[in-house]
Amino acid sequence: MIKNSKKNNYNTMKKPFILIALSFMILQSCNAQSFDLADVKFPVDKASLTKYKLEDKQILELDYRLFKSVSPDVLHFNKASLSGHTGNANDDIAGTNLVYFYSNDKTGKIQAYKVETYTTPETKKLITAIESKLGKAVFDRGQDNRFRIWESADKKTIYLLESGQFSLNNDPKTASARFFAIDRSAKDLVDHRLTSGFQYYKDYLFEKSKKTGKYTYADFLKDMKAQGEGYYLKGDNTIK
């Protein structure tokens, strides 16, 4: 009876230790995934990201200083982990998934970020996570090289996604993406980035500025077609 009593006491004492250990492991797991790019609200105080040891690349884009990170702690969007690299010979040039934060050199506030993915699994995860978080794009153009745009519900953030195939020199091709999230108040940066495959959306915004009431990109396309400028519809997926 004494032996059984000691055994029962040992088991009773053991349970709290197991619970504490499990709680600690869960807490550590939560902390490891506490940062999510999908939750970023601009502008962001750069000091709040110092624990992630951002690398100053000594690069200026307009008045924005670029800070780089390849840390798995930062590379999450809507709970999708985006960390990875192709393993190809040119990984040190391009091939490692990363994020750049754009810090306004005048205010020290971060007003944009850019995610670059070069690995096929993480690129697919990023695109799925974006679609799940942001829904249907307000601008969608292209097939092999696809350009999409979303606006946040409060109209304070614009999101630009360029996706396609990537290869450097003779490396194998992989699915790749460049994803921007930009503070709408950073008008110079928004304007700077609405070029190339996103140019038609800039044209739409210009026309929208002259309108009163609701005016969507689909409305813009209909107007362009009516004016004989049907090339705006070529390659468009927005109104299909």
Position 16 pLDDT exceeds 80: no
Please report the pLDDT score of residue 20 as a whole number.
Answer: 43
Helix (H) or strand (E) holding 26: helix 2-32
Q: Which residues of 6-26 are buried (b: 16+ CB within 10 A; e: fewer)?
A: eeeeeeeeeeeeeeeeeeeee
pLDDT digits (tens, 9 = 90+) for 20-49: 444 444 434 444 458 999 999 999 999 899
Extents of the domains making up the chain: 37-193
Lowest mean pLDDT among 105-114, 170-179, 194-203, 224-233: 170-179
β-sheet bridge partners, residue 209:
none
Residue 12: which pLDDT band, with cuts at 50, 70 and 90?
low
Lowest mean pLDDT among 25-34, 57-66, 71-80, 163-172: 25-34
Taking the C-alpha atoms of residue 203 and residue 195, their distance in angstroms, rounded to an integer, is 10
> What is the pTM (predicted TM-score) of this model?
0.84
Q: How far is CA 99 from CA 69, 96, 152, 200, 202, in A?
A: 5, 10, 20, 26, 25
CB-CB neighbours of 88 under 10 Å: 18
Taking the C-alpha atoms of residue 176 and residue 100, their distance in angstroms, rounded to an integer, is 16
Per CATH, the number for 37-193 is 3.40.1000
